[in-house]
Amino acid sequence: MVRKPRPATLPHASGKPLISEKAERFTESVIRDMTRQAHLYGAINLAQGFPDFPAPAEIKRAAQEAIAADVNQYAITWGAKSLRHAIAAKMKKWQGLEIDPEAEITVCCGSTEAMIASLLAITNAGDEIVVFEPFYENYGPDAILSGARPRFVTLHPPADPAEEWRFDERELRAAFGPRTKAIILNTPNNPTGKVFTRAELEFIRELCVEFGALAITDEIYEHILYDGARHLSMATLHGMRERTITINGMSKTYSVTGWRVGWAVATPVLTNAIRKVHDFLTVGAPAPLQEAGATALSLPDSYYEGLATAYRARRDRLLPALRQAGFKTFVPRGAYYIMTDIGGFDFPDDVSFAQHLVKDIGVAAVPGSSFYSRPELGARQARFAFCKTDATLDEAARRLRQVKKA
Ligand SMILES: Cc1ncc(COP(=O)(O)O)c(C=O)c1O
């Protein structure tokens, strides 16, 4: 969550604070804090987006074999050759994009590092980054850490929860200007479940071309889609191959959020800068897990069909349970979260509501305000993750029925 600067407590001999202004401008992650609270109160964790079921056996085996074969030292800093080639082959197959694995891919410690490395590689003080809100919590601090100024554009919730969240074209255009360096786009979207349509992406494309801006697209939920929704990569749109940094990773598609393997794909000039930043940030992602990544990315199409089908069943298990408990639910078309309206409960705000859920009801959710630059926009919202087993979801549903309605 982004917050206003406040004076640091410890003074330096110079009289200046010891804590950097950048670090003072944001709080620790509310999502990760909710996980700690879930541990503390023994609550079911529907806050943080990690699966509580096993990863595919073949990729676990590949990781075990890589360690047994002593793939235990640094990989090439920008990624093991096998994984980079697998990424290029998969992007060709699924997106029709020709990517040079030697010059256009940087493997990082998760898509989280790919995003901050990309921002650090392209931004100077005073540059502006356009970010849709609600946004995945990291983007706000990412923009601050990179020295850029975020310009937030609201995704408006639909009046009918079965409809889509939408941006206002005039509001988006107004956020672009001569200082705009890039727009961050996350589709399928966390937390709203929105999957951006071709028409919406075309509108964004036109603005990027007009203002000479880049698009940084976080596509880590690309295979988790429902109701016939189709994922479209920004880099495939006319004129965007050169203007897009495509970010993806293993965490969500292969249920291995703890492995910390992700990547950024961009033209050689951009990649060169991203690789330098990445090298000095982390040197490299875990070597044996990159080898397992090459196996994962070569899984047959049926794997991805099975993934989407299983997630649809989980979504359709939690949606009615939340409704029955008194939540108004926004129906996601992609990703594995349900954003809800908590107006039907008698609580002053989302934070006190989330505290009640985790302490008294035994279910951790994320207060909506943590996804907004202006907390009031999320004060009636809470997000639930459904990347969990049926047993976990059913027990959460049972507990949620105890929440008192207004
Ligand atoms: C939109 C989005 N991007 C990135 C991440 C983190 O991905 P990784 O584990 O690859 O760092 C998450 C995790 O929840 C996410 O929702």
- Give the start-end residues of each E strand in 2-109: 44-45, 105-108
* Residues 185 and 216 sit within 8 Å (Cβ to Cβ): yes
Q: Is the CB of 187 under 6 A from ligand 1?
A: no
pLDDT (tens, 9 = 90+) of the chain, 406 residues, equals 555 555 556 677 788 888 888 888 888 888 888 888 889 999 999 999 899 999 999 999 999 999 999 999 999 999 999 999 999 999 999 999 999 999 999 999 999 999 999 999 999 999 999 999 999 989 989 999 999 999 999 999 998 877 899 999 999 999 999 999 999 999 999 999 999 999 999 999 999 999 999 999 999 999 999 999 999 999 999 999 999 999 999 999 999 999 999 999 999 999 999 999 999 999 999 999 999 999 999 999 999 999 999 999 999 999 999 999 999 999 999 999 999 999 999 898 999 999 999 999 999 999 999 999 999 999 999 999 999 999 999 999 999 999 877 6
Q: Is the CB of 186 under 6 A from ligand 1?
A: yes
Q: pLDDT per residue over 223-259, tens digit each?
A: 999 999 999 999 999 999 999 999 999 999 999 999 9
* Residues 297 and 107 sit within 8 Å (Cβ to Cβ): no
Cis peptide bond N-terminal to 188, omega within 30: yes
DSSP alpha helix (H) spans, 299-349: 301-325
Q: Is the CB of 188 under 6 A from ligand 1?
A: no
Atom of ligand 1 nearest to the CA of 249: 10
Q: Is the CB of 35 under 6 A from ligand 1?
A: no
* 2 DSSP β-pair partners: 26
Question: Of all helices (H) and strands (E), which one includes residue 337?
Answer: strand 337-341
Q: pLDDT per residue over 80-133, tens digit each?
A: 999 999 999 999 999 999 999 999 999 999 999 999 999 999 999 999 999 999
Our mutation pick for probing the ligand 1 site, out of 48, 112, 290, 339, counting the most ligand atoms within 8 A of Cβ, is 112
Residue 162 has a pLDDT of 76
Cis peptide bond N-terminal to 101, omega within 30: no
- The residue whose CA is least distant from atom 6 of ligand 1 is 112
